[in-house]
């Protein structure tokens, strides 16, 4: 009886318990399947090869000294090599790998649990302090002042507190004027209508106070302001060549061939076109300069050489806060 029962159970299990053979399972893929594209692949190989050839060309041009002006060939070969590589990669991206569109969650707005934990961590860590405000202030005082101390040596980057050097020029009474070539200038070689550049003799030319622009105008046309009537012997005027707006060299001089129909003589700066009138002491007649051009008093020395008769009428170069309160000085 037991035997029969076992056989029955076995048969039922065999018939019903047998699972249907599942079809071979499709593997869970990460990247979805897409068909190959042999044409695109061929083009890709071609593009890679051309890119390699161009890069090889670059190396060849660098190695070959014989080619004269190399820049065009170098640029062309390197540029094309990169361009072909770029094309290859874009082709790869669009045709030879699968462009999937998947989505994933944005990161959560915030993490309240961790935020709370951080708050708690900091609060509990500070529990041993009894006078939190005082300790914090003292600590901040220490670190802050130390930080300032570490930054303090930066003041030696420049004469932060001594601004006298800003108003110093190499000009003083008796200083000789020399031209670009270093020769002293003579009064009778300064002709009307044209302009000349001059520097202080025996002084560094590459400072704001050194370059001058000289012009000659008829004495009758001069209207220099009050203390400067004698600053232009024979009508020769000397002005700082450095524009009082932004420090460019004033290398333009407009001089009318036909004054009846043309604007009057003026020194102009090429940067922002500040225009200065030499006849009235360098006043600004157009442009963004806020200060007239500083004038240098001249004197005609022995044998007709031009010498400075003092320092400028005002500080040279671009303005700064308080500039009008400074008088230009010469180094000791």
Q: Measured from the CB of residue 36, what is the shortest distance to another protein in angstroms?
A: 14
Structure tokens at 287: 């442009």
Output 243 or 309, the one with its CB closest to another protein: 243
Residues 43-62 interacting with another protein (rule: CB under 8 A):
62
Q: Does 253 bind another protein (CB under 8 A)?
A: yes
Q: Measured from the CB of residue 122, what is the shortest distance to another protein in angstroms?
A: 21
What's the distance, Cα to Cα, between the start and end of the chain in Å?
Answer: 134
Q: Measured from the CB of residue 101, what is the shortest distance to another protein in angstroms?
A: 6
The residue to which tokens 């062309």 are assigned: 76
CB 142 within 8 A of CB 172: no
Lay out the site mask for another protein across 173-212 (x = CB under 8 A, - = otherwise).
-------x--------x-x-xxxxx-x-----xxxx-xx-
Closest CA relative to residue 48, chosen from 77, 86, 93: 86
Number of residues that bind another protein (CB under 8 A): 107
Degrees, nearest 5: CA angle 188-194-199: 70
DSSP assigned state of 83:
H
Q: Measured from the CB of residue 49, what is the shortest distance to another protein in angstroms?
A: 15
The residue to which tokens 């005027």 are assigned: 237
Structure tokens at 219: 């004495």
Structure tokens at 58: 């670059």
Which residues make beta-bridge pairs with 295?
239
Structure tokens at 97: 């790998």
- Choice from 50, 78, 201, 203 touching another protein (CB under 8 A): 78
CB 61 within 8 A of CB 77: yes
CB 205 within 8 A of CB 170: no
Residues 268-297 interacting with another protein (rule: CB under 8 A):
268-275, 284, 286-291
Output 124 or 260, the one with its CB closest to another protein: 260
Q: Does 249 bind another protein (CB under 8 A)?
A: yes
Output 109 or 148, the one with its CB closest to another protein: 109
Q: Does 216 bind another protein (CB under 8 A)?
A: no
Closest CA relative to residue 200, chosen from 214, 218, 217, 221: 214
Residues 118-147 interacting with another protein (rule: CB under 8 A):
none
- Choice from 174, 247, 304, 331 touching another protein (CB under 8 A): 247
Q: Does 304 bind another protein (CB under 8 A)?
A: no
Output 185 or 298, the one with its CB closest to another protein: 185
């Amino acid at each position: 009886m037991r035997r029969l029962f076992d056989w029955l159970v076995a048969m039922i299990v065999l018939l019903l318990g047998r699972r249907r053979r599942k079809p071979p399972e499709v593997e869970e893929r990460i990247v979805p399947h897409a068909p190959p594209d042999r044409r695109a692949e061929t083009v890709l190989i071609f593009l890679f090869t051309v890119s390699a050839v161009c890069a090889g060309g670059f190396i060849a041009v660098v190695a070959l000294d014989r080619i004269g002006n190399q820049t065009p060939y170098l640029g062309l070969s390197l540029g094309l090599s990169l361009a072909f590589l770029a094309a290859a990669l874009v082709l790869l991206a669009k045709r030879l790998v699968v462009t999937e569109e998947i989505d994933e969650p944005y990161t959560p707005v915030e993490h309240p649990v961790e935020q709370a934990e951080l708050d708690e961590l900091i609060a509990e860590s500070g529990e041993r302090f009894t006078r939190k405000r005082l300790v914090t202030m003292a600590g901040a005082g220490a670190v802050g002042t130390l930080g300032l101390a570490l930054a303090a040596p930066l003041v030696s980057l420049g004469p932060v507190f001594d601004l006298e050097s800003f108003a110093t020029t190499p000009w003083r009474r008796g200083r000789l004027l020399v031209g670009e070539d270093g020769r002293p200038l003579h009064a009778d070689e300064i002709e009307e209508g044209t302009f000349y550049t001059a520097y202080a003799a025996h002084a560094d030319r590459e400072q704001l106070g050194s370059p001058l622009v000289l012009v000659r105008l008829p004495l009758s046309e001069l209207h220099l302001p009050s203390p400067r009537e004698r600053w232009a012997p024979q009508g020769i005027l000397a002005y700082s060549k450095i524009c009082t707006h932004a420090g460019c060299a004033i290398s333009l001089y407009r001089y009318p061939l036909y004054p009846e129909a043309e604007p009057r003589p003026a020194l102009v700066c090429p940067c922002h076109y500040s225009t200065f009138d030499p006849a009235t002491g360098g006043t600004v007649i157009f442009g963004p300069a806020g200060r007239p051009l500083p004038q240098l008093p001249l004197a005609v020395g022995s044998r007709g050489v031009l010498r400075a008769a003092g320092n400028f009428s005002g500080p040279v170069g671009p303005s700064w806060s308080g500039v009008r309160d400074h008088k230009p000085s010469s180094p000791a």
